[in-house]
Structure 1
Amino acid sequence: MLVKMGRAVRIDENSLGELILKCRENQPEPAYWRKDKQIWIIRDSGRPDKSTGVGDRANAEKILGAYIATKDTATGSRHAHAVAINEVLDIYGREHAIKVAAPERIGYAIDSLLAFWGALSVADVKGETCRRYGKSRVRRFKDGTTRPISDGTIRRELNVLQAAINYCHREGYLLTPATVTLPPKPSPRDRWLTRDEAAKLIWAAYRSPTAKHVARFILIALYTGTRKDAILKLSFMPNIGGGWIDVDRGVMYRKGSAERDTKKRRKPVRLTKRMLGHCRRWKKNGANWPVEIGGQRVGNIKTAFATAASGLPGVSPHVLKHTAITWAVQKGLAVEDAADYFDTSSETIRKTYYHHSPHYQDRAIAILERKL
């Protein structure tokens, strides 16, 4: 089922098929009436119109059906001008997106791309149209105001377009791919919580009757640097749909046994004594899930987290991962050890976090301060 949230259409993992149908709905009518010649004409995206040679609708539909059947069974690549973007997104959604661990993320991007790109062909993908797409992306609010979508979001959407084009080229649907022009990559955010801010956030969540469960989420995120979705799927027993916490061995398994591997790495992590103590207490008190309400797993904390963080500007669940890594590096944790524990690349640790380390540029300073 499609669920409306503002202007965007949010889909769950089982609804990608509905969005694929939407790709097809955006295609123009396959035939039109040529009044001056009194005949029906077949319209095919990216190709010259083709006459049916008949004027009555019934025979025209038979000819159209035969033409479509011939087209569907034809093999071989087509040139960029002969392949519509909605066809590219349709193929990518049907053949690739349904196989990934989080198809809904591709679905969100496809939904945003269709309004602008749907009727265009692959040959229309160029720097000018990509920049125009970015300018067209705005978020509309109920009061009539608008706000531009961030470059980061636009990059993610256009990356899906590029991936779809590349897939169609690789699979033989498209003879020559196009290069999608992306907006500049945003600088990494350096927002992290101080110890006092973290304490205020946990206390605000714990005191709130509607956000008490978020306090546990915050603790797990701050101690382990685990991503939001992985935390919300955790249980205290082996779990095929998500990770689990082994309170006997003191290990958190971030990924369920049946979950697909993704670029978001989720390898096991040992728990500190303090975090393990929290987990053992929660389980002893009857919890089935670390983050739960009334014994039921919580799948969405957006509203509850916003309630707890209302007094802290710029704080989202992902800021907790930034905070966990920043605190660890501030204590002197080496790049390789931080990358291993937080399951993040060494390059990211070095580029985004290592300037917080007390050992940052130690060797450079030691050499520069030598007396000649």
Structure 2
Amino acid sequence: MRRAGRRGPANQDPRLVSIPTCLAYYLQRQREGSSNATLAAYHAEHLLRFWGARMLSQIKGQTCRDYVAARTAERWIPPGGKGPGRPISEQTAGRELQTLGAAVGLWHKEFTLTSRPQVTLPEKGRAHPDWLTEAEYGRLLRVVQGWRWVASDLATREPVWERAPENPFVRQWRLAAGADFIPDDHLERFLEIGFYTGTRSAAILGLRWQRHRIAGHVDLNGVTIHRAGPDAPVSRKTNPPCRIHDRLLPRLVEWRKADAARMVRDGGGTPGPITHVVHERGAAIGRVDKAFGRAALLAGLDRRDIDGVMRIGNPDPADDMGLPTPHILRHTRATLMLQAGLVPREVGEYLGMSTKS
């Protein structure tokens, strides 16, 4: 692959610059100072399967439409998943093309192409309602707290709950750990922080009890959650500090006291304090998607109160929108704040969310 260097005909003529070279240069710059590098690399993997060794001059409206058609003919199966999977949406293909467009834009900024190709994106699809009512969130929270929805009251239609039995894995862990047993409440903590602050999933999972250079931390004395550290990589997704909600504060105080009273051992057996706010028996967590999906199904979120539409189980699988993901907590907080009368600008500033339509 030809290395990008100084300006010259080879770097300025779109007929001589290959798409792989352009993407490689973009990914290199992303790795040097962006938190979006992993996502960009994932997009590039799919882009290269279609575009191959084509040149920038071959980026046309038709080839972009061909890319969308090729991607939407594929299906996505999560790691470890079974079955036919879900069709790739035009919106997913569009986000991948946005990465291609960003790569072309960076190359043009650096080398001044004689003619800059325009990446054509698919039309935006109709937005689907994607937020939880407080009643739905209440059901979700009860599920992760260890309750099971067994029936509904015929008169009030309210759920009837009973305590779910402890599963064999937890029972075995409790017996083996003895006094060192730590209840696994990581999903409950994740839900409460996400619901009351609308913080992005990765930022929630990175939160620490003490100040950190990269990750955010909880300042109980200042009643503030700092969503990112001072040296966090620059990203378009801002993570401004936010005031701790009055209902969340006592929960954080409770969790802090519990964690401060515990010690965990690392891989070498050395004891140490619990550092992360959301942890699984003292260990940091990378993702909660699967656990969240299981809880959402048990809470009856396959059918939603806001529109009565079935998210899964439709006669045509193509009509399925899927169960909600953890990101729905962010949408929920934004919606509830707007419903409470806050103006969009204030909501955007609190959440670190763009209010541009």
Instruction: Mark yes or no: TM-score above 0.5.
Output: yes
From 115, 119, 125, give the equivalent of 1:176.
115
Correspondence list, 1:59-74, <5 A: none
Partner SS state of residue 239, structure 1: coil
Cα distance between partner residues in 2 of 1:93 and 1:344: 25
Assess, with a 3 A threshold, how the Cα gap between structure 1 residues 306 and 144 changes in structure 2: closer, same or farther.
closer
Assess, with a 3 A threshold, how the Cα gap between structure 1 residues 147 and 127 changes in structure 2: closer, same or farther.
farther
Cα distance between partner residues in 2 of 1:280 and 1:140: 41
Match of 1:117 in 2: 51
1:300-341 per-residue CA deviation (whole Å, 9 max, x = no partner) reads 112111111123123111111111111122222233332232
Asked whether the equivalents of residues 7 and 111 of structure 2 are also in contact (C-alpha less than 8 Å), the reply is no
The alignment yields a C-alpha RMSD, in angstroms, of 2.5
Cα distance between partner residues in 2 of 1:276 and 1:233: 18
Asked whether the equivalents of residues 325 and 342 of structure 1 are also in contact (C-alpha less than 8 Å), the reply is yes
Correspondence list, 1:21-100, <5 A: 75-76=8-9, 77-100=11-34
Match of 2:263 in 1: none
Cα distance between partner residues in 1 of 2:257 and 2:290: 28
Assess, with a 3 A threshold, how the Cα gap between structure 1 residues 268 and 261 changes in structure 2: closer, same or farther.
same
Asked whether the equivalents of residues 233 and 241 of structure 1 are also in contact (C-alpha less than 8 Å), the reply is no
Cα distance between partner residues in 1 of 2:83 and 2:114: 44
Assess, with a 3 A threshold, how the Cα gap between structure 1 residues 167 and 245 changes in structure 2: closer, same or farther.
same
Asked whether the equivalents of residues 6 and 111 of structure 2 are also in contact (C-alpha less than 8 Å), the reply is no
How far apart are 1:145 and its partner, in Å?
Answer: 4.0
Cα distance between partner residues in 2 of 1:74 and 1:256: 37
How far apart are 1:257 and its partner, in Å?
Answer: 1.9
Cα distance between partner residues in 2 of 1:236 and 1:290: 6
Cα distance between partner residues in 2 of 1:304 and 1:185: 30
Match of 2:209 in 1: 236
Correspondence list, 1:307-318, <5 A: 307-310=294-297, 311-313=300-302, 314-318=323-327
Assess, with a 3 A threshold, how the Cα gap between structure 1 residues 258 and 294 changes in structure 2: closer, same or farther.
same
| Unmatched segments (≥5 aa) in structure 1 | 1-23, 25-67, 349-372
1:121-147 per-residue CA deviation (whole Å, 9 max, x = no partner) reads 111110111111111111255878465
Is the counterpart of residue 304 in structure 1 residue 291 in structure 2? Answer: yes
How far apart are 1:72 and its partner, in Å?
Answer: 7.7
Is the counterpart of residue 329 in structure 1 residue 331 in structure 2? Answer: no
Match of 2:193 in 1: 220
Match of 1:368 in 2: none
Decide which structure has the larger Cα Rg and report it: 1
Structure with the bigger percentage of helix: 1
Partner SS state of residue 274, structure 1: coil
Q: TM-score of the superposition, structure 2-length normalised?
A: 0.72
Q: Report the count of equivalent residues.
A: 281
Cα distance between partner residues in 1 of 2:36 and 2:138: 33
Asked whether the equivalents of residues 239 and 352 of structure 2 are also in contact (C-alpha less than 8 Å), the reply is yes
Match of 2:249 in 1: 276
How far apart are 1:97 and its partner, in Å?
Answer: 4.2
Assess, with a 3 A threshold, how the Cα gap between structure 1 residues 115 and 336 changes in structure 2: closer, same or farther.
closer
1:79-108 per-residue CA deviation (whole Å, 9 max, x = no partner) reads 222222111112222234432122101100
Assess, with a 3 A threshold, how the Cα gap between structure 1 residues 94 and 331 changes in structure 2: closer, same or farther.
closer
Match of 1:293 in 2: 280
Assess, with a 3 A threshold, how the Cα gap between structure 1 residues 265 and 201 changes in structure 2: closer, same or farther.
same
Asked whether the equivalents of residues 189 and 278 of structure 2 are also in contact (C-alpha less than 8 Å), the reply is yes
Cα distance between partner residues in 2 of 1:156 and 1:271: 33
Cα distance between partner residues in 2 of 1:256 and 1:74: 37
Assess, with a 3 A threshold, how the Cα gap between structure 1 residues 72 and 272 changes in structure 2: closer, same or farther.
closer
Q: TM-score of the superposition, structure 1-length normalised?
A: 0.69
Partner SS state of residue 225, structure 2: strand
Percent of aligned positions with the same letter in both sequences? 31
Match of 1:267 in 2: 240
Asked whether the equivalents of residues 197 and 333 of structure 2 are also in contact (C-alpha less than 8 Å), the reply is yes
Partner SS state of residue 111, structure 2: coil
Match of 2:75 in 1: 139
Q: Which of the pair has the greater relative contact order for Cα pairs under 8 Å at 6+ separation?
A: 2
Match of 2:131 in 1: 192
1:257-295 per-residue CA deviation (whole Å, 9 max, x = no partner) reads 220231111111111222111101100111532211111
Match of 1:250 in 2: 223
| Unmatched segments (≥5 aa) in structure 2 | 147-163, 171-183, 260-273, 303-322
Partner SS state of residue 244, structure 1: strand
Match of 2:181 in 1: none
1:15-36 per-residue CA deviation (whole Å, 9 max, x = no partner) reads xxxxxxxxx5xxxxxxxxxxxx
Asked whether the equivalents of residues 83 and 121 of structure 1 are also in contact (C-alpha less than 8 Å), the reply is yes
Structure 1 residue identity aligned to 2:64: C
